[in-house]
């Protein structure tokens, strides 16, 4: 009798846990979709005004890293309050501004709009594949985290060095590595939500947003290098 009661109790516990995971995943998808709106607005404003045109080289790197890490710190501090969502959306607007310099350069190509849409479609395709895999893979992927973190640090350091070196070959290699690492990060972050390892939808959205932006930017860089058509 006692064993039956315990089994029923575990069943209700599993059901509640599954409902909680689904709620976090659902809220994450909604907020992720919403976060793209300020990103597009920021990118449009940056392209239209040219406000980020002068942010090249070391200055651009300092502004980006300072702003990005400042926002990420603020998001983590406010993720359990009503302020968390506006701070996250402010960050995505900032990221749109930072992306606008590259977008403006790509728009300088004759086929610039097509390249941007291709990069967007490619990123959406990667996200769809990773979201599907996260729902069907049963094994624990938590061990991937430390290796992906090392890879992310490596490409970030490589990117910073290449800001001063300006090598096209290095940029191509870094972009390919970024696509691979952050596509895997998408799977890792989505699997954490599915498995209940991430219970805060603001933190989950931040992680996935960074994955998506990195893949998009790397794809756009490669498309600009290989497919950009001059007038």
Mean pLDDT across the chain: 86
**How high is the pLDDT of residue 57?**
64
What is the arithmetic mean of pLDDT over 61-69? Answer: 85
Provide the token pair at 89. 């959306």
* Structure confidence at residue 61 (pLDDT): 77
- pLDDT per residue as tens digits for the range 82-126: 899 999 999 999 999 999 989 999 998 888 899 999 999 999 999
How many domains, the chain? 1
Q: How is residue 225 written in tokens?
A: 């290098």
* Residue 219 lies in domain: 2-227
Residues 6+ away with beta carbon under 8 Å from 206: 72, 75, 88, 91
Residue whose tokens read 């404003």: 45
**Across 162-171, 172-181, 205-214, 222-231, least confident range:** 222-231
Q: What is the distance between the alpha carbons of residues 104 and 86, in angstroms, rounded to a whole number? A: 27
Tokens encoding 107: 């728009």
């Amino acid at each position: 009798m006692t064993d039956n009661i315990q089994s029923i109790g575990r069943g209700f516990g599993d059901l509640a846990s599954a409902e909680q995971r689904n709620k976090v995943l659902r809220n994450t998808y909604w907020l992720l979709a919403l976060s793209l709106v300020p990103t597009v607005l920021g990118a449009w404003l940056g392209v239209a005004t040219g406000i980020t045109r002068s942010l090249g080289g070391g200055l651009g790197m300092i502004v980006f890293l300072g702003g990005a890490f400042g926002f990420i710190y603020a998001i983590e501090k406010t993720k359990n309050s009503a302020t968390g969502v506006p701070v996250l959306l402010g960050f995505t607007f900032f990221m749109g501004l930072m992306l606008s310099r590259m977008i403006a350069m790509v728009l300088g190509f004759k086929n610039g709009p097509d390249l941007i849409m291709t990069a967007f479609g490619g990123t959406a395709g990667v996200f769809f594949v990773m979201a599907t895999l996260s729902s069907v893979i049963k094994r624990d992927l938590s061990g991937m985290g430390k290796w992906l973190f090392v890879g992310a640090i490596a490409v970030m350091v490589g990117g910073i060095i290449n800001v001063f070196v300006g090598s096209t070959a290095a940029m191509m290699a870094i972009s390919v590595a970024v696509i691979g690492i952050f596509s895997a990060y998408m799977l890792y972050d989505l699997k954490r939500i599915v498995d209940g390892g991430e219970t805060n939808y603001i933190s989950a959205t931040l992680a996935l947003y960074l994955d998506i932006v990195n893949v998009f930017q790397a794809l756009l860089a490669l498309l600009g290098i290989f497919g950009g058509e001059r007038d």
